[in-house]
Structure 1
Amino acid sequence: MMAANKLHPTVLEMLSIPDSRGRDVVPWHYIRRDFADGLCFAGALLIFYILAAISWKRFRPFAEMSFWMGIVFFALPVVKAGIIYVKCAHLFDPALAACPWPDFDSYLNDASIQMARSWVPPLGAVLAAIFTLLRIRGQRIVQKRAAADGTSHPGVSAA
């Protein structure tokens, strides 16, 4: 997350999205900032998931936790950037750029952004529950096999 915050000013400079800070017109300043946040968090999420995939076999519970925590903490800005990209025509051409939000309030209260705010973080919680249930189920299967074979498997207690 800190890396994403460090890259934010650089990404803002690279984007040629118009900026309208301080005006009561199209809220380009906020659109530009949220889009840059989404790009930075997408990079952080990609690195997060690569590290989780690399550590999957050795540290599986932590890797599983990384997948759902990535959604809880990183996915909302990425989804918001996707919404901005889809809704704004010619986003990277300041002369032709257009968006459906005439002012900041309409941008802030956009139905798709509100839906993303209400659905993306709970998706992480649902994934956490699914991973937990799958892990418990896997441990029970290993315990049953161990009881049937009369052997013990490391890391599984015979309960």
Structure 2
Amino acid sequence: MMHSIGRYSQQMDFHRSILEYRFDETLKAGLAGRLPFEKEESHFAPEPSVACGIRADDTGDEFGVIYLQRSERLLVFAAAHAERASAAAVFKSAFPELSAHEIPATFKGGPLVDSPAPMNLPPPALEIPSALWRFELPGMILFFVVVIGSQYLAHAFQEPVMQWLGLHGGSPGDEPPWYFITRDFAEGICSAGALLLCVLVAVVAWRWWPSYAVMMVWMPLMWHGGNIGRSWIIYQACPGLLDGQRITTRWLTSQSYTYDHDIAGAKTLGSVSGFLLAIVLSLVSYHVRRRLARRSARREMEGSAL
């Protein structure tokens, strides 16, 4: 028999974990009476987690059990000087229903504990799980290549777009300020293309790297959204701009163009939209991944029951 010993707050070495299970809210609810997890998040792992401590009445073995909420893993630790194989056998005999969800131990990150380390031992260093790192590295590289590359392409294609649309002409001192108007218009077109590229790559990459895919949408929107809005305002305010007839514009001076309230509002709207989209997409991605994980765990449970 096992009984709770309250909050488990001893110093632990994640390399000494003896068991690891696939875990989710369904299993957690089923074991709530026997594994009373703390409601508040603990600091044992570099991700949201809850922990509990239990003791075997017959053997006296103590176990620390940590539920990693983001990766939905259950990690089991024995006391520091326990024989690992014997302790694992004790825990498995007490919770045989978990055997169908056991997986090889892959979590190799150092704990971030909320209790002080012994005076003679340095705090364990935080390590990145090698398997997780190998999976996340391609997504990280893709994110930086796409986001930085889109910025470079938006700048590199500005001159070709101006040549293609016949937007050259004028000097910085001219009134009306066609020099700035035409260049900003071309920059907005290039920014729209860069944003579209980021969104398309994000749609493809979401299946494997949802976190980076989300950032590939909202970050370019913050950078390019204002330029796109400014380009649309210029198109509305300068009839004949694309026909080579730069005759009329509502900005008669450089100052009136530089301090135009509509353009300033478009830039602000682009930044705010990117920020709000970051929150919305992150929440959507989180709930979708949790739903898929629960569905997968439910199917595995049904399959093991058969």
Choose 95-104 or 135-144, whichever is displaced more.
135-144
| Deviation of the 1:132 alpha carbon | 2.2
Question: Mapping of 1:110-121 within 5 angstroms?
Answer: 110-121=260-271
Distance 1:96 1:20, change over 3 A: closer
Match of 1:31 among 181, 184, 188: 181
| Deviation of the 1:76 alpha carbon | 1.4
Show the counterpart of 1:157: none
When Rg is computed on C-alpha atoms for both structures, the one with the higher figure is 2
Distance, in Å, in 1 between the alignment partners of 2:210 and 2:280 is: 14
User: In the alignment, residue 43 of structure 1 is paired with which amino acid?
Assistant: G
Show the counterpart of 1:154: none
TM-score of the two chains, using structure 1 as the length reference: 0.81
Q: Secondary structure at the match of 2:241?
A: coil
**Structure 1 contact 18–28 (Cα < 8 Å) conserved:** no
Which deviations, in whole Å up to 9, do the C-alpha atoms of 1:86-138 show, x marking residues without a partner? Answer: 11111123345311000111011112101112221011111111122233444
Q: Secondary structure at the match of 2:156?
A: helix
Show the counterpart of 1:108: 258
Q: Percent identity?
A: 28
| Structure with bigger RCO (C-alpha 8 Å, 6+ apart) | 1
Distance 1:97 1:141, change over 3 A: same
Aligned length, in residue pairs:
151
Distance, in Å, in 2 between the alignment partners of 1:123 and 1:66 is: 14
Question: Mapping of 1:9-158 within 5 angstroms?
Answer: 9-17=159-167, 19-95=169-245, 97-138=247-288, 141=291
User: In the alignment, residue 235 of structure 2 is paired with which amino acid?
Assistant: Y
Instruction: Note the residue ranges of structure 2 that are not aligned, 5 or more in a row.
Output: 1-150, 302-306
